[in-house]
Structures are given as C-alpha cells and as structure tokens.
Amino acid sequence: MTASAAAFGLLGSLVTACGSSGSDGTTLRLVVPEYGNSPATGSKAYWDKLTAAFTAAHPGKKVEVTLHPWAEVDREVSRMVEEGDVPDVALLGAYSDFAAQGRLYPASEVLSIRSEANFLPPLVEAGSVGNTLYGLPFVASSRLLFYNQELFEKAGAKPPKTWSGLKGAAEALKAEGVPYPYALPLGPEEAHAEALIWELSNGGGYTDIRGEYSLDSERNAQTFRWIKDNLVKPALTGPVPPAELNRQDAFDAFLRGDVGMVNGYPSLLHEARQKGMKVGTLRMPVSDTLEDEEAPPAVGVADWMMAFKRDGNRELVGSFLNFVYEDENLNEFAERYHLLPSTVSATQASRGTAADPSAEQFLIALRSARLYPVDDPSWLQVSNTIKRNIGKAVAPSADPGAVLEQIARQAGEAAQPE
C-alpha cells in the first residue's frame, strides 16, 4: 500500500498487458501494485487464482493483469491514461485526480447496491468526492503505537497515555541502554503518516472542519516544537535523524530490538510475534492538554480500486468488481498481507478465522480513523511536499512554524485550479 503495504514490491513489472482505449466487452485489463517483497510473497499468485475463478464463472471473459511495484504504479497508470491506453480497473493509493478528470465510474454504476453499501463508513467518506463514491476501498490499515514489552519491563517504564508519559518512558529506556527509545520516521518514504499521527494526537491534522488544508495551524506547530524539544534534542530518537529515517528502516530497527517504541500497523505485529518478541500496542498517546478530552482518531490508510470509463466495458467491470468484493476473495488478500478488509461483512467474517486475533484492535481503531484527504485532487502533490519537507521541522536548529508555513504555501499552490 502507498501508506500501509506489508512490503514494498519487486523491481519491475511482472506481467505486461496491452490494449487500447476501447473495450471489446470480453477482456478486462487490470493494473495492480505488488504487495510482496519476494517471489514467495508476491501478489501474482493471488490475482492468478482470483482471475481464474472469475473467468470460470463467466465463460468467454478474460482478465489481463499487470503488476507494478508500488513506487511505479501511480506513474504507470497516469502514463497509460495520458497515452489513451486506459485500463479497465486499477488499484492505486489515490483516485481523486482521475475522478476530477471525469474518467471514473461512480460506484453506483458498477457495484450492486449490497456491495456499495458494505464498505466501512470512514472509508466511504474518504473515497467520495462530494456525495459520490469513486474510490472503492480495497484493503486498509490503522496505526497504533508499538512498544517492546521486554525493554519496558527492564527499564521499569509504563505504557504511555500522554506525551509526557512517552517522554518519561523514552528517558527510562535510554537510561537502561536502549539505543533508540523512539523511532520517528519522517523520511521521504512515509513521513506524511507519522506526521499526521502526531498532529491528530494534539487536536490538529492536515485539514480543518471545512476540509481545507490547515498544515500550518498553531496546533501543528506546537506538535513539532514539542517533538523537537522533548525527543530529538535529548537524543531519544534514531537510528538516524528523523528527516532521514524511512518507515521500513524504523520497523527493521524495532524488530532487531534496538527501538523501544514505533508507530506501526498489523503486519508489523505479525512480524514481531513471528520473531518471538513480546510487543504491546496502544492508541497514540495524546498531548497533555488533551488528556481529559475524548480520544482523537487514529490514522487510517486505504488503497483504492477505481473503474475507468471505456466504451463497452461497464458490464464487465461491474461483474469483476462485485466478484472481487465477495468476502472470501477480499479476506484472502487481506490475510495474506496482514491488512484489514474494507467491508463490514468481510470484517465480520474474518474475526473467527484471523490468524492473529489481536488484529481486532486495529479494526476498532479503523472504524473511527482519520484518513488522508485523498478526495482532494491535489493530495498526491501535497503529500509529496510533506514527505520531502516535514522532517526539517524537528531538526535541532529548525523553526517548526516556518517549515510548516513553507509546506502550506506549496500545498496552496498545488490546490489552486489550473
């Protein structure tokens, strides 16, 4: 996933599809990202099985699948669209730029009423432009704070509920010799996730109640000032400076036992327990000023199916998508990568069969989660700006407010209609 994949993908396109901007109504062209990090965990096996089952149930129909690494799939689909070589269905990290161009079918035109009504509410909100659902959520995740229970026990630290509790735990871990008490991945891979987790825990976020960007709000500036003064300057973060630390490197350090705390998602919990680690999870601690208020939402991330308009393809696209969203098919993919299914019925069906019952806590967090503003066509550009720059806000000599103002100016330019 752009924000929540179990791993990052292989080094090239695994299958090549061809076609034109029209459709013969018998062959569906599907473009999807690679969720695995090796041939053994690759996504091809899943799509081969699913498409074989679909074509067996729909004689005379074919599905051509193209797999691309996550780092390339958005760019490849954009290139296809620009060249008039439009796919029928694509799975990406964002959808709203194509919706704004009028290239996507609304869900009501390709899904059954039952399928359309089955998505989890926070995902429906994020997948809609206005009141129309264009981004069909496929798999999702929520974020919780992970802590190494053995390191905490040795240090006599308590699972934190507030920022001051987190700082106290980090200081205790440092005193016990833990190299990096808190991993703060504000590097270019996924800085926008870590930043939003912290902003929400102080009552801030990327947008205000009107849905407009509020990247340089005073609450957000307070958040990064606190991180800089209380975690970065006292050398309680690592393994490298936050602006250079990517998510996977932070996860790897946590799995080695070098990190005491890190924000993560279900697949990290699965990996940690496979290694025999004792790991606790909890909602992100809140700023001390919010201690007595209602808990802020967790961060949620989803990947989006989208149905492209091509002459003569609507019926085939609808048949395929309704098949994809059957509980068995959706759960098989979610469980393969230790992610969360996007529908109410699949979530309920997975509870009795999930390999890790602790995934329930991530499902609970997802129900009220805050997702990125993916319904804004400028989000891809804005998120890239955040990823490249937000780490500068916690550099020891930085002025967090000034860094946020610069990001906000660039976001404002991206959000202006052409």
pLDDT value, residue 270: 87
Q: What tokens appear for 352 in the block? A: 């009795």
Q: How far is CA 381 from CA 136, 309, 384, 386, 387, in A?
A: 21, 24, 5, 9, 10
Paired strand residues for 280:
147
Given a cut of 60, is residue 205 above it in pLDDT? yes
For residues 17 and 30, what is the distance between their CA atoms, to the nearest angstrom?
8
Cβ-in-10-Å burial (0-12, 13-18, 19+) of 28 comes to buried
Grade residue 267 by pLDDT with cuts at 50, 70 and 90.
Answer: confident
Region of 320 please: left (phi>0), alpha (psi -120 to 50) or beta: alpha
Q: What tokens appear for 208 in the block? A: 């205000």
For residues 53 and 60, what is the distance between their CA atoms, to the nearest angstrom?
13
For residues 371 and 383, what is the distance between their CA atoms, to the nearest angstrom?
13
Rounded to the nearest integer, the mean pLDDT of the chain is 89
Given a cut of 90, is residue 417 above it in pLDDT? no
Percent of the chain with pLDDT over 90: 72
For residues 214 and 404, what is the distance between their CA atoms, to the nearest angstrom?
10
The beta-strand segments (E) located in 168-312 are 180-182, 259-264, 279-282, 299-307
pLDDT value, residue 353: 45
Grade residue 363 by pLDDT with cuts at 50, 70 and 90.
Answer: confident
The beta-strand segments (E) located in 134-197 are 136-142, 144-148, 180-182
pLDDT value, residue 211: 86
Collapsed DSSP state (helix, strand, coil) of residue 102: coil
For residues 122 and 286, what is the distance between their CA atoms, to the nearest angstrom?
21
Average pLDDT over residues 203-230: 95
Average pLDDT over residues 316-343: 94
Cβ neighbours of 319 (radius 10 Å): 16
Cβ neighbours of 10 (radius 10 Å): 20
Among the listed ranges 30-34, 215-219, 376-380, which one has the minimum average pLDDT value? 376-380
Amino acid at 15: V
Q: Which of 92-101, 215-224, 269-278 has the highest mean pLDDT?
A: 215-224
Q: What tokens appear for 283 in the block? A: 């909602």
Burial 277-315 (b: 16+ CB within 10 A, else e): bebebebbbbbeebeeeeebbbbbbbbbbbbbbbeebbe
51, 42, 78, 100 alpha-carbon torsion, rounded to 10° = 70
Among the listed ranges 143-157, 277-291, 344-358, which one has the minimum average pLDDT value? 344-358
pLDDT value, residue 21: 52
Grade residue 348 by pLDDT with cuts at 50, 70 and 90.
Answer: confident
Largest CA distance in the chain: 67
Given a cut of 60, is residue 203 above it in pLDDT? yes
Q: What is the DSSP string of 88-122?
A: SEEEES--HHHHHTT-B--HHHHS-HHHHTTB-HH
Please give the helix or strand (H or E) that residue 252 lies within, else none: helix 247-256
pLDDT value, residue 355: 47
| pLDDT tens-place string over residues 51-75 | 999 999 999 999 999 999 887 888 8
